[in-house]
Amino acid sequence: MATATSSRETSSQKNLELFWLGRWLRAHAALALSAVLATMIVSVAVAGPAIAPYSPTTPDILNRLLPPSGDHLFGTDHLGRDIFSRVIAGARVSLGLAALIMAIAVPIGVLLGILAGYWGGRLDAWISRVTDAMFAFPSLVLAMAINAALRPSIASTVMAVSAVWWPSYTRLLRGQVIAIKHVPFVEAARSLGASDGRIIRRHILPNVVGPLLVKITNDLGHALVIAAGLSFIGLGVQPPTPEWGAMVAEGRAYLLDFWWYAVFPGLAIAVTVLSFAFFGDAIHELLEPRSRRS
């Protein structure tokens, strides 16, 4: 009897959990779908060449410029390489570039933003002047100039885009810190003798994580586009490395007769950027429900 009661309670609990899970998924369908799509793209990037049906770099001249088919889902390029395999392998390169850019630009921007917003004064003035100077130039043009001064490679692409990406994080964090540092709970901590470091760690940083996470999620796609743009004009990743921007550049000469060459890498860029953009918007709505009602 006790076993049957326990079994009914367990079943009832599972049904309740499923009910609330289904209700949450319906309320946050955009977040769930974009998260699934972004996870799939990241999984493909992590697996990379291991799941590609063909070598992404080995030429096969006898099978050059074949249309999409059962053997080659996305067709082949002018050297006979399988485009589907190159798109899969290119996911690791393109997303890896975006992740490296974020890994460099975000800490620099966050640190400078906190320094400028919390301490203010001359330090804030100097950091703000440098930030404003960086914003005076279009990010792509400035990244092109920096990358042109270096030898085109993956490292120079990461350095160039990171150099133009950190100011947006500095401006975001500066504004967030200025808005938070005078709120009552921060003033109370300061009056109790808390050090600046403790106030920043315990009271300021936790309150800026939400906007920072939303911006990082959106900027992953934007950084990927900038890196792909540099590769497209020959200043980024160099052939034969499979990178989506470089693949589009190779395929543009064949676009009228062999459309699949440039279209599929371009679609990979578009789907990836949109998935991260929708994911960022969904996180913003989850963290700021008032924005959804307005």
Contacts of 231 (CB under 8 A, 6+ apart): 157, 237, 243, 244, 245, 246, 249
Q: Which residue has the tokens 């001359």?
A: 122
Report which of residues 290 and 213 the model is more confident about: 213
pTM: 0.81
Residue 7 pLDDT more than 80?
Answer: no
Report which of residues 56 and 35 the model is more confident about: 56
C-beta separation of 157 from 227 below 8 A:
yes
Count other Cβ atoms within 10 Å, centred on residue 70.
5
User: Domain spans of the chain?
Assistant: 31-38+73-293
pLDDT-based confidence at residue 6 (cuts at 50, 70, 90)? low
pLDDT-based confidence at residue 102 (cuts at 50, 70, 90)? very high
Q: Using alpha carbons only, give the angle 84, 87, 88 rounded to the nearest 5 degrees.
A: 90
How far does Cα 207 stand from its chain's mean position? Answer: 22
Query: What pLDDT was estimated at residue 244?
Result: 93
What is the pLDDT averaged over residues 275-281? 83
Count other Cβ atoms within 10 Å, centred on residue 181.
20
What is the pLDDT averaged over residues 92-105? 91
pLDDT-based confidence at residue 280 (cuts at 50, 70, 90)? confident
CA-wise closest residue to 154 among 245, 263, 275: 245
Provide the terminal-to-terminal Cα distance of the chain, rounded to the nearest Å.
Answer: 54
C-beta separation of 74 from 82 below 8 A:
yes
> What is the C-alpha separation between 94 and 231, in angstroms, rounded?
10
C-beta separation of 102 from 223 below 8 A:
yes
Report which of residues 7 and 240 the model is more confident about: 240
Average pLDDT, the chain: 83
pLDDT-based confidence at residue 3 (cuts at 50, 70, 90)? low
Q: To the nearest whole percent, how much of the chain has pLDDT over 90?
A: 28
Query: What pLDDT was estimated at residue 14?
Result: 56
C-beta separation of 81 from 59 below 8 A:
yes
pLDDT digits (tens, 9 = 90+) for 178-201: 888 888 888 888 787 778 778 888
Q: In this structure, is the dihedral angle defined by the CA atoms of residues 53, 57, 58 and 64, taken in order, positive or negative?
A: positive
What is the pLDDT averaged over residues 281-291? 65
pLDDT-based confidence at residue 104 (cuts at 50, 70, 90)? very high
User: Widest CA span of the chain, in angstroms?
Assistant: 80
| CATH class for the region spanning 31-38+73-293 | mainly alpha
pLDDT-based confidence at residue 293 (cuts at 50, 70, 90)? very low
Token couple for 126: 């100097």
pLDDT-based confidence at residue 291 (cuts at 50, 70, 90)? very low
